[in-house]
């Protein structure tokens, strides 16, 4: 009989959800948790019966674990994911994978050199209605895509209070890299590699982040398809978070979001659809699909298959996001180089 995979989690905000999820997944054993906040680490370890609680992430990476989730602030992902892979673990790195293209490429090379699997926490791909739009595209039901668009809207004002590292003046989280990483991942999933980006950004009134927290980008994919990503981190609405996705092709259209639990599609009758909207319903998932995401990654490790969002996909998203920032600075459309 196979031994359980030994799992560790670094950073216990979002990482607490990872820890609880691993606690539920058959075939894995959560053996170590890490947070610089010792009380937080001890509490999670006590609640879940975890053997090791540490404040030293390098110590966790040196434990010989099979799988590590990196759930620390964004600027720490690169060094922690790298050390975990070098310590022999497969890694689920939360989004954004890194904060620079160079660091993302370095993680791809580290995964290749160590033979470890690297997955990135672009969890929206596990939302059922978003998967369904991808299925329609992948099966050709929308024909040839000419436009894909995704909006990531999250009023972060309460989140900034809970997680002040995001607005730390010395090393603030970049709202575009952090938030738009979800939307950029989705448009890349549907539309493929991005060739060129033009980005405009400004500030949402009343949001304490010093960096622009509202941006719109126009995209041209290598396929010739066009796209758009909209990021808004202060929109006044409730619930405070929503992801919206649209795919438009020569034979059909599909629209969805993370509130509605359905896809609305218009599919050409000649290929078995109908011209009026067809609402494709889903059973609601219970909250955030992190359990589905981590279960899938555990399956990838056991079956030796590729993660749905692998290191190359994560790095291509970071590369596109960074070129977006270059475009905002230059005021011109900028080219995206493929990942090496």
The binding site for ligand NAD (CB under 6 A) comprises: 10-14, 34-37, 40, 57, 71-74, 76, 94-95, 121, 123, 163, 165, 178
Cross-strand bridge partners of residue 213: none
We find the least distance from the C-beta atom of residue 83 to ligand NAD, in angstroms, to be 11
Residue of minimal CB distance from ligand NAD? Answer: 13
**Alpha helix positions (H), the chain:** 14-24, 38-48, 57-61, 77-86, 101-114, 128-138, 157-162, 175-191, 290-303, 311-330
Locate 340 and state its tokens: 């090496």
Rounded to the nearest 10°, the torsion over CA 191, 193, 199, 205 is: 60
Instruction: Give the distance, in angstroms, between the CA of residue 206 and the centroid of all CA atoms in the same chain.
Output: 26
* CB closer to ligand NAD out of 42 and 334: 42
We find the least distance from the C-beta atom of residue 165 to ligand NAD, in angstroms, to be 6
Contact 73, 93 (CB under 8 A): no
We find the least distance from the C-beta atom of residue 119 to ligand NAD, in angstroms, to be 12
- If one counts every other C-beta atom within 10 angstroms of the C-beta of residue 330, the result is 11
User: Can you tell me the distance from the alpha carbon of 226 to that of 308, in angstroms, rounded to the nearest whole number?
Assistant: 23
* CB closer to ligand NAD out of 95 and 214: 95
We find the least distance from the C-beta atom of residue 75 to ligand NAD, in angstroms, to be 9
Instruction: Give the distance, in angstroms, between the CA of residue 205 and the centroid of all CA atoms in the same chain.
Output: 26
* CB closer to ligand NAD out of 119 and 323: 119
Largest interatomic CA distance in the chain: 62
We find the least distance from the C-beta atom of residue 13 to ligand NAD, in angstroms, to be 2
Q: How far is CA 107 from CA 62, 83, 111, 161, 318, in A?
A: 18, 10, 6, 31, 12
* CB closer to ligand NAD out of 5 and 71: 71
* CB closer to ligand NAD out of 57 and 248: 57
* CB closer to ligand NAD out of 48 and 280: 48
We find the least distance from the C-beta atom of residue 41 to ligand NAD, in angstroms, to be 8
User: Can you tell me the distance from the alpha carbon of 294 to that of 18, in angstroms, rounded to the nearest whole number?
Assistant: 8
Instruction: Give the distance, in angstroms, between the CA of residue 105 and the centroid of all CA atoms in the same chain.
Output: 17
Side by side, which strands form the sheet with 67-70?
Answer: 52-54, 28-34, 5-10, 67-70, 90-93, 118-120
* CB closer to ligand NAD out of 83 and 136: 83
User: Can you tell me the distance from the alpha carbon of 196 to that of 226, in angstroms, rounded to the nearest whole number?
Assistant: 10
We find the least distance from the C-beta atom of residue 71 to ligand NAD, in angstroms, to be 5
- DSSP codes joined into one string, 29-85: EEEEEE-SSHHHHHHHHHHHT-SEEES-HHHHHTS--SEEEE-S-GGGHHHHHHHHH
* CB closer to ligand NAD out of 41 and 265: 41
We find the least distance from the C-beta atom of residue 57 to ligand NAD, in angstroms, to be 4
We find the least distance from the C-beta atom of residue 112 to ligand NAD, in angstroms, to be 23
* CB closer to ligand NAD out of 181 and 327: 181
């Amino acid at each position: 009989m196979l031994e359980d995979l030994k799992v560790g989690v670094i950073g216990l905000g979002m990482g607490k959800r990872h820890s609880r999820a691993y606690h539920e997944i058959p075939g894995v054993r959560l053996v170590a948790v890490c947070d610089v906040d010792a009380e937080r680490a001890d509490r999670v370890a006590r609640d879940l019966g975890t053997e090791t609680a540490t404040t030293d992430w390098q110590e966790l990476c040196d434990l010989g674990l099979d799988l590590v989730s990196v759930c620390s602030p964004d600027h720490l992902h690169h060094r922690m994911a790298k050390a975990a892979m070098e310590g022999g673990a497969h890694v689920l790195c939360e989004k954004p994978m890194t904060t620079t293209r160079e660091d993302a490429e370095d993680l791809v090379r580290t995964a290749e050199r160590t033979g470890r699997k690297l997955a990135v926490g672009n969890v929206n791909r596990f939302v059922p209605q978003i998967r369904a739009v991808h299925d329609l595209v992948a099966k050709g039901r929308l024909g040839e895509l000419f436009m894909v668009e995704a909006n990531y809207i999250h009023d972060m004002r309460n989140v900034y209070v809970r997680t002040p590292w995001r607005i730390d003046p010395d090393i603030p989280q970049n709202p575009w890299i952090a938030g738009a990483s979800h939307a950029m991942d989705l448009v890349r999933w549907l539309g493929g590699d991005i060739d060129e980006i033009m980005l405009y950004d400004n500030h949402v009134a009343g949001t304490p982040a010093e960096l622009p927290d509202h941006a719109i980008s126009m995209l041209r994919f290598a396929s010739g398809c066009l796209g758009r990503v909209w990021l808004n981190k202060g929109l006044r609405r409730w619930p405070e978070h929503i992801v919206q996705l649209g795919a438009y092709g020569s034979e059909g259209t599909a629209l969805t979001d993370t509130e509605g639990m359905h896809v609305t599609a218009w599919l050409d009758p000649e290929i078995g659809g109908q011209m009026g909207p067809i609402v494709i319903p889903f059973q609601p998932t219970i909250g955030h699909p992190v359990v589905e995401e981590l279960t899938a990654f555990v399956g990838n490790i056991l079956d030796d298959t590729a993660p749905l969002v692998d290191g190359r996909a994560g790095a291509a998203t970071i590369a596109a996001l960074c070129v977006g920032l270059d475009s905002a600075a230059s005021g011109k459309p900028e080219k995206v180089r493929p990942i090496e």
